[in-house]
Structure 1
Protein backbone atom coordinates (compact mmCIF):
# COMPACT_ATOMS: atom_id res chain seq x y z
CA UNK A 1 0.00 0.00 0.00
CA UNK A 2 1.80 3.11 -1.22
CA UNK A 3 1.49 6.46 0.51
CA UNK A 4 2.88 9.82 -0.49
CA UNK A 5 3.25 12.49 2.17
CA UNK A 6 3.65 16.11 1.16
CA UNK A 7 3.00 18.84 3.76
CA UNK A 8 2.17 22.44 2.91
CA UNK A 9 1.23 24.71 5.81
CA UNK A 10 -1.85 23.09 7.38
CA UNK A 11 -2.54 20.87 4.38
CA UNK A 12 -1.10 17.41 3.85
CA UNK A 13 -1.17 15.39 0.63
CA UNK A 14 -1.40 11.60 0.62
CA UNK A 15 -2.55 8.81 -1.65
CA UNK A 16 -3.80 5.25 -1.34
CA UNK A 17 -4.06 2.36 -3.78
CA UNK A 18 -7.50 1.10 -4.76
CA UNK A 19 -7.46 -1.65 -7.36
CA UNK A 20 -4.88 -0.50 -9.89
CA UNK A 21 -5.37 3.22 -9.23
CA UNK A 22 -3.58 5.63 -6.90
CA UNK A 23 -6.17 7.93 -5.32
CA UNK A 24 -4.83 11.25 -4.00
CA UNK A 25 -6.38 13.08 -1.08
CA UNK A 26 -5.71 16.15 1.05
CA UNK A 27 -5.80 16.32 4.83
CA UNK A 28 -6.72 19.61 6.47
CA UNK A 29 -5.99 19.85 10.18
CA UNK A 30 -8.43 21.70 12.42
CA UNK A 31 -7.74 23.21 15.81
CA UNK A 32 -9.90 21.67 18.51
CA UNK A 33 -10.66 22.62 22.09
CA UNK A 34 -8.90 20.07 24.26
CA UNK A 35 -10.15 18.66 27.52
CA UNK A 36 -8.20 16.53 29.97
CA UNK A 37 -8.97 12.97 28.87
CA UNK A 38 -7.20 9.64 28.86
CA UNK A 39 -4.98 8.78 25.91
CA UNK A 40 -7.43 6.08 24.79
CA UNK A 41 -10.44 8.42 24.88
CA UNK A 42 -8.48 11.14 23.13
CA UNK A 43 -7.69 8.75 20.26
CA UNK A 44 -11.32 7.64 20.00
CA UNK A 45 -12.54 11.28 19.93
CA UNK A 46 -10.06 12.10 17.17
CA UNK A 47 -11.31 9.17 15.09
CA UNK A 48 -14.92 10.31 15.41
CA UNK A 49 -14.06 13.82 14.24
CA UNK A 50 -12.43 12.72 10.97
CA UNK A 51 -14.70 13.61 8.02
CA UNK A 52 -14.32 12.78 4.33
CA UNK A 53 -15.68 14.77 1.38
CA UNK A 54 -15.44 14.10 -2.35
CA UNK A 55 -16.03 17.29 -4.34
CA UNK A 56 -17.50 17.52 -7.88
CA UNK A 57 -14.03 18.64 -9.02
CA UNK A 58 -12.83 15.13 -8.02
CA UNK A 59 -10.86 16.50 -5.08
CA UNK A 60 -10.88 14.28 -1.98
CA UNK A 61 -10.56 16.29 1.24
CA UNK A 62 -10.19 14.86 4.76
CA UNK A 63 -10.87 17.12 7.76
CA UNK A 64 -9.21 15.94 10.96
CA UNK A 65 -8.30 17.34 14.40
CA UNK A 66 -4.75 18.64 14.58
CA UNK A 67 -3.88 15.90 17.08
CA UNK A 68 -5.29 13.01 15.01
CA UNK A 69 -2.78 10.24 14.40
CA UNK A 70 -1.74 9.60 10.80
CA UNK A 71 -2.67 5.95 11.26
CA UNK A 72 -6.19 6.90 12.41
CA UNK A 73 -6.68 9.09 9.33
CA UNK A 74 -5.38 6.32 7.09
CA UNK A 75 -7.73 3.79 8.71
CA UNK A 76 -10.71 6.13 8.25
CA UNK A 77 -9.87 6.61 4.58
CA UNK A 78 -9.41 2.90 3.91
CA UNK A 79 -12.71 2.04 5.60
CA UNK A 80 -14.45 4.29 3.07
CA UNK A 81 -12.14 3.58 0.13
CA UNK A 82 -14.91 1.91 -1.89
CA UNK A 83 -17.29 4.85 -1.31
CA UNK A 84 -14.55 7.36 -2.25
CA UNK A 85 -13.75 5.47 -5.45
CA UNK A 86 -17.43 5.21 -6.45
CA UNK A 87 -17.97 8.93 -5.81
CA UNK A 88 -14.92 9.82 -7.91
CA UNK A 89 -16.13 7.55 -10.70
CA UNK A 90 -19.54 9.27 -10.72
CA UNK A 91 -18.08 12.79 -10.75
CA UNK A 92 -15.61 11.85 -13.50
CA UNK A 93 -18.51 10.60 -15.60
CA UNK A 94 -20.21 13.96 -15.12
CA UNK A 95 -17.09 15.86 -16.13
CA UNK A 96 -16.76 13.83 -19.32
CA UNK A 97 -20.15 15.14 -20.44
CA UNK A 98 -19.33 18.78 -19.68
CA UNK A 99 -18.49 19.89 -23.19
CA UNK A 100 -19.65 22.97 -25.07
CA UNK A 101 -23.12 22.32 -26.46
CA UNK A 102 -23.36 22.02 -30.25
CA UNK A 103 -27.19 21.92 -30.26
CA UNK A 104 -27.36 18.95 -32.57
CA UNK A 105 -29.48 15.82 -32.45
CA UNK A 106 -28.28 13.30 -29.89
CA UNK A 107 -27.09 15.78 -27.27
CA UNK A 108 -28.42 15.56 -23.71
CA UNK A 109 -30.65 18.23 -22.21
CA UNK A 110 -32.13 18.39 -18.70
CA UNK A 111 -35.54 19.44 -17.43
CA UNK A 112 -36.69 19.14 -13.79
CA UNK A 113 -33.94 16.64 -13.08
CA UNK A 114 -34.70 14.33 -15.99
CA UNK A 115 -32.56 13.76 -19.07
CA UNK A 116 -33.93 14.33 -22.57
CA UNK A 117 -32.25 13.61 -25.89
CA UNK A 118 -32.24 16.62 -28.22
CA UNK A 119 -33.73 16.00 -31.66
CA UNK A 120 -33.61 18.73 -34.31
CA UNK A 121 -35.89 18.34 -37.35
CA UNK A 122 -36.84 20.45 -40.39
CA UNK A 123 -40.47 21.03 -41.31
CA UNK A 124 -41.19 23.77 -43.86
CA UNK A 125 -44.90 23.64 -43.06
CA UNK A 126 -44.50 24.15 -39.28
CA UNK A 127 -43.59 27.06 -37.07
CA UNK A 128 -40.28 26.96 -35.16
CA UNK A 129 -40.99 25.24 -31.85
CA UNK A 130 -39.68 23.23 -28.90
CA UNK A 131 -41.61 20.51 -27.11
CA UNK A 132 -41.04 17.35 -25.08
CA UNK A 133 -42.01 14.13 -26.80
CA UNK A 134 -41.34 10.55 -25.65
CA UNK A 135 -38.14 11.25 -23.77
CA UNK A 136 -36.89 13.72 -26.36
CA UNK A 137 -36.66 17.49 -26.55
CA UNK A 138 -37.93 18.04 -30.08
CA UNK A 139 -36.84 21.24 -31.84
CA UNK A 140 -38.54 22.05 -35.13
CA UNK A 141 -36.93 24.47 -37.59
CA UNK A 142 -38.62 25.74 -40.74
CA UNK A 143 -35.42 25.20 -42.70
CA UNK A 144 -31.81 24.22 -42.16
CA UNK A 145 -29.20 26.85 -42.94
CA UNK A 146 -25.85 28.15 -41.75
CA UNK A 147 -27.47 29.48 -38.57
CA UNK A 148 -28.97 26.13 -37.58
CA UNK A 149 -26.93 25.88 -34.37
CA UNK A 150 -27.66 29.47 -33.33
CA UNK A 151 -31.38 29.10 -34.10
CA UNK A 152 -31.61 25.86 -32.14
CA UNK A 153 -29.79 27.37 -29.17
CA UNK A 154 -32.06 30.43 -29.20
CA UNK A 155 -35.19 28.26 -29.33
CA UNK A 156 -34.01 25.96 -26.53
CA UNK A 157 -32.92 28.89 -24.33
CA UNK A 158 -36.25 30.61 -24.90
CA UNK A 159 -38.12 27.42 -24.04
CA UNK A 160 -36.16 27.06 -20.80
CA UNK A 161 -36.91 30.69 -19.95
CA UNK A 162 -40.67 30.27 -20.42
CA UNK A 163 -40.71 27.06 -18.38
CA UNK A 164 -38.61 28.69 -15.65
CA UNK A 165 -40.98 31.66 -15.32
CA UNK A 166 -43.99 29.38 -14.91
CA UNK A 167 -42.48 26.75 -12.61
CA UNK A 168 -40.64 29.26 -10.41
CA UNK A 169 -43.87 31.23 -9.97
CA UNK A 170 -45.73 28.06 -8.98
CA UNK A 171 -43.06 26.97 -6.51
CA UNK A 172 -42.78 30.44 -4.95
CA UNK A 173 -46.56 30.58 -4.45
CA UNK A 174 -46.56 27.16 -2.78
CA UNK A 175 -43.51 27.79 -0.58
CA UNK A 176 -44.34 31.34 0.52
CA UNK A 177 -46.79 30.34 3.31
CA UNK A 178 -43.93 28.46 5.00
CA UNK A 179 -41.76 31.60 5.06
CA UNK A 180 -43.79 33.28 7.80
CA UNK A 181 -41.17 36.02 8.18
CA UNK A 182 -41.92 37.37 4.68
CA UNK A 183 -44.52 40.13 4.40
CA UNK A 184 -46.46 40.22 1.16
CA UNK A 185 -45.40 38.59 -2.09
CA UNK A 186 -41.81 39.29 -3.15
CA UNK A 187 -41.18 40.03 -6.80
CA UNK A 188 -38.81 37.86 -8.77
CA UNK A 189 -37.30 37.77 -12.21
CA UNK A 190 -35.43 35.18 -14.18
CA UNK A 191 -31.89 36.17 -15.11
CA UNK A 192 -28.96 34.04 -16.36
CA UNK A 193 -26.07 33.94 -13.89
CA UNK A 194 -22.75 32.14 -14.25
CA UNK A 195 -21.99 31.34 -10.62
CA UNK A 196 -25.25 31.78 -8.71
CA UNK A 197 -28.55 29.95 -8.66
CA UNK A 198 -30.31 32.93 -7.15
CA UNK A 199 -29.95 36.18 -5.26
CA UNK A 200 -31.96 38.48 -3.02
CA UNK A 201 -31.66 42.28 -3.12
CA UNK A 202 -31.69 44.53 -0.07
CA UNK A 203 -35.33 45.32 -0.91
CA UNK A 204 -36.26 41.64 -0.91
CA UNK A 205 -36.51 41.17 -4.68
CA UNK A 206 -35.48 37.74 -5.91
CA UNK A 207 -33.50 36.77 -8.99
CA UNK A 208 -33.46 33.14 -10.12
CA UNK A 209 -31.22 31.48 -12.69
CA UNK A 210 -33.18 29.96 -15.61
CA UNK A 211 -30.73 27.01 -15.66
CA UNK A 212 -32.23 26.01 -12.31
CA UNK A 213 -35.24 24.68 -14.25
CA UNK A 214 -32.99 21.78 -15.30
CA UNK A 215 -32.76 20.60 -11.68
CA UNK A 216 -35.29 18.52 -9.68
CA UNK A 217 -38.10 20.47 -7.99
CA UNK A 218 -36.63 19.92 -4.54
CA UNK A 219 -33.48 21.75 -5.71
CA UNK A 220 -35.60 24.62 -7.04
CA UNK A 221 -37.39 24.73 -3.68
CA UNK A 222 -34.06 24.84 -1.86
CA UNK A 223 -32.85 27.86 -3.84
CA UNK A 224 -36.15 29.72 -3.42
CA UNK A 225 -36.26 29.04 0.34
CA UNK A 226 -32.59 30.01 0.61
CA UNK A 227 -33.31 33.39 -1.00
CA UNK A 228 -36.50 33.89 1.03
CA UNK A 229 -34.41 33.35 4.18
CA UNK A 230 -32.17 36.20 3.02
CA UNK A 231 -35.14 38.56 3.29
CA UNK A 232 -34.84 38.12 7.07
CA UNK A 233 -31.06 37.70 7.22
CA UNK A 234 -28.93 39.16 4.43
CA UNK A 235 -25.83 37.24 5.51
CA UNK A 236 -25.27 33.61 6.37
CA UNK A 237 -25.67 34.06 10.12
CA UNK A 238 -26.74 31.36 12.56
CA UNK A 239 -30.28 32.75 12.40
CA UNK A 240 -30.25 32.42 8.62
CA UNK A 241 -29.38 28.73 8.79
CA UNK A 242 -31.98 28.17 11.52
CA UNK A 243 -34.65 29.74 9.32
CA UNK A 244 -33.66 27.63 6.32
CA UNK A 245 -33.54 24.45 8.41
CA UNK A 246 -36.99 25.17 9.85
CA UNK A 247 -38.56 25.10 6.37
CA UNK A 248 -36.23 22.53 4.76
CA UNK A 249 -34.58 20.23 7.32
CA UNK A 250 -32.74 18.25 4.60
CA UNK A 251 -31.35 21.30 2.78
CA UNK A 252 -27.75 20.06 3.08
CA UNK A 253 -28.58 16.88 1.19
CA UNK A 254 -30.49 18.79 -1.49
CA UNK A 255 -27.72 21.39 -1.85
CA UNK A 256 -25.17 18.61 -2.26
CA UNK A 257 -27.26 17.08 -5.05
CA UNK A 258 -27.53 20.44 -6.83
CA UNK A 259 -23.81 21.18 -6.43
CA UNK A 260 -22.94 17.77 -7.84
CA UNK A 261 -24.81 18.47 -11.08
CA UNK A 262 -24.05 22.20 -11.35
CA UNK A 263 -21.51 21.91 -14.18
CA UNK A 264 -23.97 19.94 -16.30
CA UNK A 265 -26.94 22.19 -15.60
CA UNK A 266 -24.99 25.40 -16.25
CA UNK A 267 -23.37 24.08 -19.41
CA UNK A 268 -24.68 25.68 -22.59
Structure 2
Protein backbone atom coordinates (compact mmCIF):
# COMPACT_ATOMS: atom_id res chain seq x y z
CA UNK A 1 0.00 0.00 0.00
CA UNK A 2 1.32 3.44 -0.95
CA UNK A 3 1.49 6.28 1.50
CA UNK A 4 2.96 9.78 1.20
CA UNK A 5 3.96 11.31 -2.12
CA UNK A 6 6.23 14.27 -2.63
CA UNK A 7 7.30 16.18 -5.73
CA UNK A 8 11.00 17.04 -5.95
CA UNK A 9 13.57 18.32 -8.40
CA UNK A 10 17.24 17.47 -8.78
CA UNK A 11 19.98 17.93 -11.38
CA UNK A 12 21.28 15.00 -13.42
CA UNK A 13 24.06 15.46 -15.97
CA UNK A 14 23.60 19.21 -15.73
CA UNK A 15 19.88 19.13 -16.45
CA UNK A 16 16.95 19.60 -14.06
CA UNK A 17 14.84 16.52 -13.41
CA UNK A 18 11.45 16.59 -11.74
CA UNK A 19 10.48 13.40 -9.96
CA UNK A 20 8.13 12.02 -7.33
CA UNK A 21 9.08 10.34 -4.06
CA UNK A 22 6.63 7.73 -2.81
CA UNK A 23 6.81 5.63 0.35
CA UNK A 24 5.22 2.19 0.23
CA UNK A 25 4.45 -0.48 2.80
CA UNK A 26 5.09 -3.13 0.13
CA UNK A 27 8.57 -1.91 -0.85
CA UNK A 28 11.41 -3.94 0.66
CA UNK A 29 14.17 -1.85 -0.90
CA UNK A 30 14.40 1.45 -2.79
CA UNK A 31 13.63 1.37 -6.50
CA UNK A 32 13.18 3.74 -9.41
CA UNK A 33 10.12 3.55 -11.65
CA UNK A 34 10.18 5.44 -14.93
CA UNK A 35 7.27 5.51 -17.34
CA UNK A 36 5.65 7.80 -19.84
CA UNK A 37 4.34 10.02 -17.04
CA UNK A 38 7.68 10.62 -15.35
CA UNK A 39 10.12 9.41 -12.72
CA UNK A 40 9.28 7.96 -9.31
CA UNK A 41 11.58 6.92 -6.48
CA UNK A 42 9.81 4.35 -4.29
CA UNK A 43 11.14 3.94 -0.76
CA UNK A 44 10.27 1.57 2.09
CA UNK A 45 8.43 3.44 4.82
CA UNK A 46 11.42 3.43 7.19
CA UNK A 47 14.11 4.13 4.59
CA UNK A 48 16.51 7.00 5.29
CA UNK A 49 18.25 6.85 1.90
CA UNK A 50 18.45 10.02 -0.16
CA UNK A 51 16.29 9.88 -3.32
CA UNK A 52 18.69 12.27 -5.05
CA UNK A 53 21.61 9.92 -4.36
CA UNK A 54 19.63 6.90 -5.59
CA UNK A 55 19.01 8.72 -8.88
CA UNK A 56 22.65 9.79 -9.18
CA UNK A 57 23.86 6.27 -8.45
CA UNK A 58 21.76 5.08 -11.39
CA UNK A 59 22.48 8.07 -13.60
CA UNK A 60 23.02 6.32 -16.95
CA UNK A 61 20.02 4.00 -16.53
CA UNK A 62 17.73 6.87 -15.49
CA UNK A 63 18.75 9.06 -18.43
CA UNK A 64 18.40 6.16 -20.88
CA UNK A 65 14.91 5.29 -19.63
CA UNK A 66 13.91 8.96 -19.60
CA UNK A 67 14.98 9.35 -23.25
CA UNK A 68 13.03 6.22 -24.16
CA UNK A 69 9.80 7.44 -22.62
CA UNK A 70 10.25 10.92 -24.03
CA UNK A 71 10.35 9.28 -27.47
CA UNK A 72 7.28 7.22 -26.53
CA UNK A 73 5.32 10.43 -26.12
CA UNK A 74 6.17 11.31 -29.72
CA UNK A 75 5.12 7.83 -30.91
CA UNK A 76 1.91 7.67 -28.89
CA UNK A 77 -1.09 6.62 -31.00
CA UNK A 78 -3.65 9.30 -31.68
CA UNK A 79 -6.74 7.48 -30.44
CA UNK A 80 -10.13 8.55 -31.78
CA UNK A 81 -13.09 7.16 -29.87
CA UNK A 82 -15.59 6.66 -32.66
CA UNK A 83 -17.21 3.78 -34.54
CA UNK A 84 -14.98 2.47 -37.31
CA UNK A 85 -11.74 3.23 -35.45
CA UNK A 86 -9.42 0.39 -34.50
CA UNK A 87 -8.10 -0.57 -31.07
CA UNK A 88 -5.86 -3.50 -30.10
CA UNK A 89 -7.30 -6.51 -28.31
CA UNK A 90 -5.01 -9.42 -27.42
CA UNK A 91 -2.41 -8.04 -29.79
CA UNK A 92 -4.63 -7.66 -32.86
CA UNK A 93 -6.36 -4.55 -34.18
CA UNK A 94 -10.15 -4.65 -33.90
CA UNK A 95 -12.65 -2.27 -35.45
CA UNK A 96 -15.11 -0.62 -33.07
CA UNK A 97 -18.72 -1.40 -33.99
CA UNK A 98 -21.57 0.30 -32.11
CA UNK A 99 -24.97 -1.31 -32.55
CA UNK A 100 -28.18 -2.22 -30.74
CA UNK A 101 -27.39 -5.48 -28.98
CA UNK A 102 -28.02 -7.07 -25.56
CA UNK A 103 -24.34 -7.23 -24.55
CA UNK A 104 -20.85 -6.28 -25.64
CA UNK A 105 -18.99 -8.88 -27.67
CA UNK A 106 -15.68 -9.37 -29.43
CA UNK A 107 -15.18 -11.23 -32.70
CA UNK A 108 -12.07 -12.05 -34.68
CA UNK A 109 -11.75 -8.55 -36.14
CA UNK A 110 -14.30 -6.40 -34.30
CA UNK A 111 -15.29 -5.17 -30.84
CA UNK A 112 -19.09 -4.86 -30.71
CA UNK A 113 -20.32 -2.32 -28.15
CA UNK A 114 -23.90 -1.90 -26.97
CA UNK A 115 -25.45 1.32 -28.28
CA UNK A 116 -27.60 1.91 -25.19
CA UNK A 117 -24.54 1.82 -22.90
CA UNK A 118 -22.80 4.47 -25.00
CA UNK A 119 -25.95 6.62 -25.04
CA UNK A 120 -25.80 6.72 -21.24
CA UNK A 121 -22.05 7.40 -21.06
CA UNK A 122 -19.45 7.71 -23.83
CA UNK A 123 -17.71 5.37 -26.24
CA UNK A 124 -14.39 5.94 -24.46
CA UNK A 125 -15.79 5.02 -21.05
CA UNK A 126 -17.73 2.03 -22.36
CA UNK A 127 -14.65 0.73 -24.19
CA UNK A 128 -12.52 1.12 -21.07
CA UNK A 129 -15.13 -0.74 -19.01
CA UNK A 130 -15.18 -3.47 -21.67
CA UNK A 131 -11.39 -3.77 -21.53
CA UNK A 132 -11.40 -3.89 -17.73
CA UNK A 133 -14.02 -6.65 -17.64
CA UNK A 134 -12.22 -8.73 -20.25
CA UNK A 135 -8.86 -8.11 -18.57
CA UNK A 136 -10.13 -9.43 -15.24
CA UNK A 137 -11.58 -12.55 -16.87
CA UNK A 138 -8.53 -13.24 -19.00
CA UNK A 139 -5.94 -12.51 -16.32
CA UNK A 140 -7.80 -14.57 -13.71
CA UNK A 141 -7.73 -17.55 -16.06
CA UNK A 142 -4.02 -17.20 -16.88
CA UNK A 143 -3.04 -16.59 -13.25
CA UNK A 144 -4.91 -19.70 -12.13
CA UNK A 145 -3.27 -21.75 -14.87
CA UNK A 146 0.30 -20.66 -14.14
CA UNK A 147 -0.17 -20.67 -10.35
CA UNK A 148 -1.03 -24.35 -10.66
CA UNK A 149 1.94 -24.99 -12.94
CA UNK A 150 4.40 -23.14 -10.69
CA UNK A 151 2.72 -24.53 -7.55
CA UNK A 152 2.20 -21.22 -5.76
CA UNK A 153 -0.82 -19.66 -4.09
CA UNK A 154 -1.89 -16.04 -4.35
CA UNK A 155 -4.41 -14.09 -2.30
CA UNK A 156 -6.23 -11.92 -4.81
CA UNK A 157 -6.05 -10.17 -8.18
CA UNK A 158 -6.49 -6.43 -8.53
CA UNK A 159 -6.71 -4.32 -11.66
CA UNK A 160 -4.83 -1.05 -11.45
CA UNK A 161 -4.64 2.14 -13.46
CA UNK A 162 -0.85 2.07 -13.48
CA UNK A 163 -0.34 3.57 -16.93
CA UNK A 164 2.83 1.76 -18.05
CA UNK A 165 3.66 -0.36 -15.03
CA UNK A 166 2.26 -3.72 -16.00
CA UNK A 167 2.17 -5.74 -12.80
CA UNK A 168 3.23 -6.02 -9.18
CA UNK A 169 3.12 -8.56 -6.37
CA UNK A 170 2.69 -7.52 -2.75
CA UNK A 171 4.26 -9.31 0.20
CA UNK A 172 0.82 -10.62 1.22
CA UNK A 173 0.18 -12.30 -2.12
CA UNK A 174 -1.98 -9.72 -3.88
CA UNK A 175 -1.27 -9.58 -7.61
CA UNK A 176 -1.93 -6.27 -9.34
CA UNK A 177 -2.13 -5.86 -13.10
CA UNK A 178 -2.58 -2.98 -15.48
CA UNK A 179 -5.94 -3.41 -17.26
CA UNK A 180 -4.33 -2.19 -20.51
CA UNK A 181 -2.55 -5.54 -20.75
CA UNK A 182 -5.67 -6.90 -22.47
CA UNK A 183 -4.47 -4.97 -25.54
CA UNK A 184 -1.15 -6.88 -25.61
CA UNK A 185 -0.43 -10.21 -27.34
CA UNK A 186 -1.33 -13.30 -25.27
CA UNK A 187 2.32 -14.35 -24.95
CA UNK A 188 3.21 -10.96 -23.50
CA UNK A 189 0.38 -11.20 -20.98
CA UNK A 190 1.63 -14.65 -19.95
CA UNK A 191 5.09 -13.19 -19.37
CA UNK A 192 3.74 -10.54 -17.00
CA UNK A 193 1.65 -13.18 -15.17
CA UNK A 194 4.59 -15.57 -14.72
CA UNK A 195 6.85 -12.67 -13.72
CA UNK A 196 4.55 -11.65 -10.88
CA UNK A 197 3.84 -15.22 -9.74
CA UNK A 198 7.59 -15.89 -9.59
CA UNK A 199 7.82 -13.08 -7.05
CA UNK A 200 5.80 -15.26 -4.67
CA UNK A 201 8.89 -17.48 -4.53
CA UNK A 202 11.70 -14.96 -4.99
CA UNK A 203 11.14 -11.26 -4.27
CA UNK A 204 14.30 -9.96 -5.97
CA UNK A 205 15.17 -9.92 -9.66
CA UNK A 206 18.15 -12.18 -9.13
CA UNK A 207 19.44 -15.26 -10.94
CA UNK A 208 17.04 -17.58 -9.13
CA UNK A 209 14.08 -15.38 -10.02
CA UNK A 210 14.90 -15.45 -13.74
CA UNK A 211 15.54 -19.19 -13.55
CA UNK A 212 11.98 -19.67 -12.28
CA UNK A 213 10.55 -17.45 -15.02
CA UNK A 214 12.59 -19.26 -17.66
CA UNK A 215 11.49 -22.68 -16.43
CA UNK A 216 7.87 -21.90 -17.26
CA UNK A 217 8.45 -19.47 -20.14
CA UNK A 218 11.72 -20.40 -21.88
CA UNK A 219 11.37 -17.55 -24.40
CA UNK A 220 10.42 -14.92 -21.80
CA UNK A 221 13.16 -12.53 -22.98
CA UNK A 222 11.43 -12.13 -26.33
CA UNK A 223 8.19 -11.14 -24.63
CA UNK A 224 9.91 -8.85 -22.13
CA UNK A 225 11.63 -7.12 -25.06
CA UNK A 226 8.30 -6.74 -26.87
CA UNK A 227 6.81 -5.04 -23.83
CA UNK A 228 9.83 -2.79 -23.43
CA UNK A 229 9.84 -1.75 -27.09
CA UNK A 230 6.12 -1.66 -27.88
CA UNK A 231 4.33 -0.63 -24.71
CA UNK A 232 3.50 2.66 -26.44
CA UNK A 233 0.99 0.64 -28.48
CA UNK A 234 -0.91 -0.05 -25.26
CA UNK A 235 -1.62 3.61 -24.53
CA UNK A 236 -5.39 3.90 -24.28
CA UNK A 237 -5.97 7.64 -24.37
CA UNK A 238 -4.25 10.99 -24.02
CA UNK A 239 -4.89 10.73 -20.27
CA UNK A 240 -2.12 8.13 -20.20
CA UNK A 241 0.46 10.68 -21.32
Q: Structure 1 length as normaliser, TM-score?
A: 0.56
Secondary structure of the structure 2 residue equivalent to 1:117: strand
1:226 Cα deviation after fit: 0.4
- Quick check: 1:117–1:136 contact (8 Å CA) kept in 2? yes
**Higher RCO by CA contacts (8 Å cutoff, separation 6 or greater):** 2
Q: Quick one: structure 1 residues 250 and 143, their matched pair in 2 at CA, closer, same or farther if it must change by over 3 Å?
A: closer
User: Out of 139, 146, 158, which is 1:175 matched to?
Assistant: 146
Describe the superposition over 1:68-100 as per-residue Cα deviations: whole angstroms up to 9, x where unpaired: xxxxxxxxxxxxxxxxxxxxxxx99x965612x
Describe the superposition over 1:36-89 as per-residue Cα deviations: whole angstroms up to 9, x where unpaired: xxxxxxxxxxxxxxxxxxx99997xxxxxxxxxxxxxxxxxxxxxxxxxxxxxx
Secondary structure of the structure 2 residue equivalent to 1:189: strand
Aligned residues: 173
Describe the superposition over 1:168-199 as per-residue Cα deviations: whole angstroms up to 9, x where unpaired: 1111111112223x2x3432111221121100
Q: Structure 2 length as normaliser, TM-score?
A: 0.62
Determine the C-alpha separation between the residues in 1 that align with 2:215 and 2:109.
36
Is 1:102 aligned to residue 80 of structure 2?
Answer: yes
User: 5+ residue gaps in structure 2?
Assistant: 1-12, 14-63
User: Out of 139, 148, 151, which is 2:113 matched to?
Assistant: 139
- The runs of 4+ residues in structure 1 deviating greater than 3 Å are 55-59, 94-97, 142-145
Match of residue 218 from structure 2? 249
Instruction: Calculate the aligned-residue CA RMSD, in Å.
Output: 3.0
Secondary structure of the structure 1 residue equivalent to 2:83: coil
- Quick check: 1:130–1:155 contact (8 Å CA) kept in 2? no
Secondary structure of the structure 1 residue equivalent to 2:227: helix
User: Out of 222, 229, 253, which is 2:191 matched to?
Assistant: 222
Alignment of 1:1-268 (within 5 A): 98-99=77-78, 101-121=79-99, 123=100, 129-133=103-107, 135-142=109-116, 151-180=122-151, 182=152, 184-268=153-237
Determine the C-alpha separation between the residues in 2 that align with 1:265 and 1:231.
26
Determine the C-alpha separation between the residues in 2 that align with 1:56 and 1:119.
37
User: 5+ residue gaps in structure 1?
Assistant: 1-8, 10-54, 60-90
Query: In terms of Rg, which structure is larger?
Result: 1
